[in-house]
């Protein structure tokens, strides 16, 4: 049941990346856990990251974030929606 044990290091890293993009006026793409497409989009990104040669630490972190997203969507289906 939610809340599951979240690895807040990953959450902090995600926030830091977004903050850096905003601070530098760089484009960023955010996928919310409430987005019905989120898990599939992140899984597709993971496959692309593998083919582009991202290191194993990055890939493992992505897998953990995907698992967190999947658990959230399973445990909180009332919050999942098609993006508008």
Tokens 């969507």, residue? Answer: 73
Helix, coil or strand: residue 81: strand
Residue burial 4-16, b: 16+ Cβ < 10 Å; e: rest:
eeeeeeeeeeeee
* pLDDT 10s digits, 11-31: 568 888 899 999 999 999 999
Locate the domains of the chain by residue range.
32-84
* pLDDT 10s digits, 37-71: 999 999 999 999 999 999 998 899 899 999 999 99
pTM: 0.79
pLDDT at 2: 45
Alpha-carbon distance of 44 to 47, in angstroms, equals 5
């Amino acid at each position: 049941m939610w809340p599951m044990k979240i690895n807040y290091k990953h959450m902090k890293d995600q926030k830091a990346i977004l903050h850096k993009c905003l601070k530098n006026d760089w484009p960023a793409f955010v996928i919310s856990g409430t987005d019905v497409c989120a898990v599939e989009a992140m899984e597709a990104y993971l496959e692309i990251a593998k083919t582009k040669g991202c290191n194993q630490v990055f890939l493992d972190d992505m897998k953990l974030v995907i698992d967190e997203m999947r658990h959230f969507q399973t445990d909180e289906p009332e919050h999942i929606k098609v993006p508008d």
